[in-house]
Chains A and B, each alone.
Chain A
Amino acid sequence: MSPDPLPIVNPLLEVSDFDSDAGRPMKLCKLPRGDGQGEVRFAVPAEYLELARAFDGSRDVDAAVQAYIDGHAPAREKAWLTRLVLESLMPKGIIIGGDQDPGSVGASSQSTKAFLHIKLPLIKASVVEPVARTLSFMFRPTAMLLGLSLFIATHVYVYGVLFRHQHFDFSQLDIASVLLMMLFSTLATTCHEFGHATAAAHFGCRNMTIGWGMYLIYTVQWTNVSDAWKLPRWQRAVIDIGGVYFESLFLVVLLAAHLWTGNPVYLFGFIFVDLSIATTFNPFLRMDGYWLVSDLFGIVNLRKQQEIWWQDLMARLLLRDGHAPRSTLSRRAKWVLGLYTVLGTLFIGYVMLTMFRVVVLSVIANLPAFVGETWRQLASGATLLAVLHALMEFTWRVLVIVGAGLTFWNIGKGLFALFGRVRTVAAAAAGRA
């Protein structure tokens, strides 16, 4: 009987530099996901890859760790390094058994839906990429400067000149105008997503898919630009604002249509799209503002870092001086994270309260009356537009109920897990006393 093949570094592992605000040099490691659903990426302290290189197929784990210690004199002791290999590098698929399939071991802890309730791909990467590459000249500095000038000029003209002579009340829009507004919104959002994809293509990223999904109670379009993790932070930030850049070009089209036809609905469309641009910079929802904060300050996995911030705070309060903080961020990043976490928690609390008031106290409570009234109107003879409007109103209600239900369910599970951790920390504190 032949002995088991010795462990090796996964031959499918792709390594590049990783730009973050971590306290020490990091590398980006990319592997195919074992379940075939894309890729998994890890930010790994650079010295661990030196350890991984000792796994060349000629040594077992013990001998490879020893060879690394002999060659590098690391600060960590052998038992800790062995645990690192057995409990992290091997389960993640960075080091594999010699008899394992390298394409089936990349393990991810994330759902394929990421943070969305629903995630449906709409436009495949093979369609997105040629379009994005063709448009990538838009991210040359001169083109971006021109775009910025156009953005400022259109806004000065709309709010400084046109706005003075118009009264805007969205509740006064008729059914046809509301449907037109939805069309504008969808077109603007599609431009937005191609903006992200084009910026990513400009910097050499691949595999950008565009899709539709549901986030909290909102329907959203999304672009997967995970390949951008390999880029320097300033290039990632350009990708973050690329969506707004392209969406603002759509605003120019709406303004031109208004000036050409004199129809105020295009101006309503301009303002509506402008408002959605403003909300996309909110850093506490997972939209462009979130990625901007993450990239500009080099804090990766901002949501997870928030959780660690709270855990460190609780442990410090409960364990006093016996706690080693888990966060490894620099001092500046820790301050930014602290501020972001406190404000973000307050904001999310406000969103949850609003969601409860809107969905539970209003939408669900009024649903029977809405259905009865709509049915009566449709039964007494209705135009196609009225039917479409009723369908739209009903869909809106169903979506917010489903979205809020899933959100509250996740909150419940999250709180349950959080209390579990608090109990663990409290038990540790009691054990010390």
Chain B
Amino acid sequence: MANNTETQNESLLIDEFEIIELEDRLELANRCNGRCDGQTKPPAAA
């Protein structure tokens, strides 16, 4: 289930003949976009 949280286009990546379409290798790095004190921290009400 976890895999489905990110993309819906992977259902054909491995077929019944065991041929695997390799996923694009995107190496990510998270950057601060305005909440440098933790982006999942709930913001205080203004």
Contacts and interface: CB of A to CB of B under 8 A. Distances in A.
Interface stretch (A36-44, A147-155, A315-323): A36-44
Contact of B29 (A92, A181, A247): A247
Contact of A185 (B8, B12, B32): B32
B29 A411 contact: no
Contacts of B7: 110-111, 114-115, 303, 410
Interface in B1-46: 1-43, 45-46
Interface string A79-102: 000001001110010000000000
Interface string A235-251: 00001100100010000
A88 B15 CA distance: 8
B14 A286 contact: no
Contacts of B45: 366, 369-370
A362 B43 contact: yes
A225 B31 contact: no
Interface stretch (A133-141, A212-220, A425-433): A212-220
Contacts of A35: none
Contact of B46 (A40, A310, A366, A400): A366
Contacts of A279: 30
Contacts of A84: 17
A399 B31 CA distance: 13
A372 B18 CA distance: 57
A395 B32 CA distance: 12
B43 to A, nearest CB: 7
A304 B10 contact: yes
A304 B13 contact: yes
Question: Does more than half of chain B's interface fall in helix, strand or loop, or is it mixed?
Answer: loop
A33 B40 CA distance: 37
B10 A178 contact: no
Q: Say which size band chain A's interface belongs to.
A: 35 or more
A48 B32 contact: no
A104 interface: no
B24 A224 contact: yes
A42 B17 CA distance: 12
A34 to B, nearest CB: 13
Contacts of A370: 43, 45-46
Nearest to A407: B5
A224 B1 contact: no
A291 B17 contact: no
A88 B12 CA distance: 11
Contacts of B11: 109, 417
B30 A276 contact: yes
A223 interface: yes
Contact of A217 (B3, B16, B39): B39
A392 B43 CA distance: 13
A415 B3 CA distance: 10
Nearest to A108: B21
Given A43-B20, A354-B40, A370-B46, A223 B3 contact: no
A363 to B, nearest CB: 7
B29 A221 contact: yes
B36 A185 contact: yes
B41 to A, nearest CB: 8
B28 to A, nearest CB: 5
Interface of A: 28, 38, 40-45, 48, 84, 87-89, 92, 108-111, 114-116, 119, 170-171, 173, 178, 181-182, 185-186, 188-189, 192-193, 196, 213, 215-226, 228-229, 239-240, 243, 247, 272, 276, 279-280, 284, 286-288, 291, 300-301, 303-304, 306-308, 310, 326, 328, 341, 344-345, 347-349, 352, 354-355, 357-358, 362-363, 366, 369-370, 372-374, 392-393, 395-397, 399-400, 407, 410-411, 413-415, 417-418
24 contacts: A42-B20, A43-B22, A44-B20, A45-B18, A114-B24, A115-B6, A178-B34, A218-B30, A218-B39, A239-B27, A280-B29, A303-B2, A303-B6, A304-B13, A362-B42, A370-B43, A374-B46, A392-B34, A395-B34, A396-B33, A396-B34, A396-B35, A399-B33, A410-B5
